[in-house]
């Protein structure tokens, strides 16, 4: 849950499917806002810190949540290309 929006992700066989709505079965539920989720994935915010502050709530298997947060690596910056006219 991100804010008031619900999403579910199914991860299997090296693939992830993301859709709106709740999952029938789940290993974990994450409840947070988009800023906290981004900080957890990209900003170096620690899971324990977000839980302690109340910015994040987790129900279920925390190891699944830790793994989920690693699934969004930033791409390496593209090489700068100068166009000459």
Domains and CATH numbers, the chain: 7-68 (3.30.1050.10)
Whole-structure pTM value: 0.74
Residues with Cβ within 8 Å of 57's Cβ and at least 6 positions away in sequence, in order, are: 30, 31, 32, 51
Q: What is the pLDDT of residues 19-41, one digit of tens each?
A: 888 888 889 999 999 899 999 99
CA 55/CA 2 separation, integer angstroms: 11
The partner residues of 59 in beta bridges, in order of sequence, read 29
Asked if residue 56 lies in contact with residue 41, where contact means CB atoms within 8 angstroms, the answer is: no
Residue scoring higher pLDDT (75 or 65): 65
CA 58/CA 17 separation, integer angstroms: 20
């Amino acid at each position: 849950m991100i804010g008031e929006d619900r999403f579910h992700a199914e991860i299997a066989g090296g693939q992830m499917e993301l859709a709106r709505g709740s999952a029938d079965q789940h290993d974990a539920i994450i409840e947070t806002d988009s800023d906290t989720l981004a900080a957890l994935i990209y900003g170096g915010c620690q899971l324990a810190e977000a839980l302690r502050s109340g910015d994040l709530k987790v129900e279920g298997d925390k190891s699944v949540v830790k793994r989920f947060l690693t699934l969004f690596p930033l791409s390496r910056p593209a090489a700068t290309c100068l166009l000459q006219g």
